[in-house]
A and B are shown apart, each in its own frame.
Chain A
């Protein structure tokens, strides 16, 4: 665990994880104040040098506010806080984060957020799509995209995106909540198992 007021990450850090939560009570904007914490410069440097960063939920919001990812997470289109399992389509399997899945695979993962509506200008969306940087989309159980399954109104049903170097992933859903049988589902395991494989191979 790294303290927000620290200015350096532990030596040899391979992956920085920004977890979910309500940093600073979502004051001003979700993740806005945490994104300006002293430790974030070290996270930026880590990413610049090719280190991996995973931001989940509030972590995704912090990554957008810090400029490590483009766009912003706005209030859910229907205004309600949504806490339920959703289906996600894994768009690519050729990344460190998604190598544990097949491209097009549908996984069931919980979401719990009031501000998960991904918004960016047209140019950014075009770039994200064109460069294959949308990793997860909200979908139906059989992988179709429709208005109803795009539960928070996000642009292009975007649930998770990569930065331009492919080292930084931000996603609103919580894969870490579906990793053991006792949780009722293990669909989230693939993300972490894939990362573990990635680091084993790199070592």
Chain B
């Protein structure tokens, strides 16, 4: 089964990369973008059909490696 883990910075954590992207969008003439924060997307392929097991594995993956929980949040989605 396919899954997607999205990792984003906790609010309040400085994101200079997001700010740099904001500036670049402005320079490109893209109007009305108030703010940008950059995150990461991981697309995973989980073996088997056991949803509960998959969710457990994904949570472990996120907690132990994909996200640094000091400064990042994560969201897990199982794609049917």
Contact = CB atoms under 8 A, between A and B. Distances in A.
**Central interface residue in A29, A76, A117, A121, by most chain B CB within 10 Å:** A29
Interface residues of A, number: 21
Given A28-B65, A32-B65, A36-B65, A77 B70 contact: no
B66 A28 contact: yes
Interface string B44-66: 00000000000000000000111
Contacts of A32: 65, 68
Contacts of B13: 74, 119
Contact of A77 (B14, B65, B68): B14
Contacts of B14: 74, 77, 117, 119, 153
Contact of B71 (A28, A78, A119): A119
B67 to A, nearest CB: 9
**Central interface residue in A28, A79, A117, by most chain B CB within 10 Å:** A28
A72 interface: yes
A107 to B, nearest CB: 28
Contacts, number: 35
Contacts of A79: 16-17, 20
Interface in B6-39: 13-14, 16-17, 20
B70 A71 contact: yes
Given A28-B65, A32-B65, A72 B71 contact: yes
Interface string A110-151: 000000010111000000000000000000000000000000
Interface of B: 13-14, 16-17, 20, 64-66, 68, 70-71
20 contacts: A28-B65, A32-B68, A36-B65, A71-B70, A72-B68, A72-B70, A72-B71, A74-B14, A74-B71, A75-B16, A76-B16, A77-B16, A78-B16, A79-B16, A79-B17, A79-B20, A117-B14, A119-B14, A119-B71, A121-B70
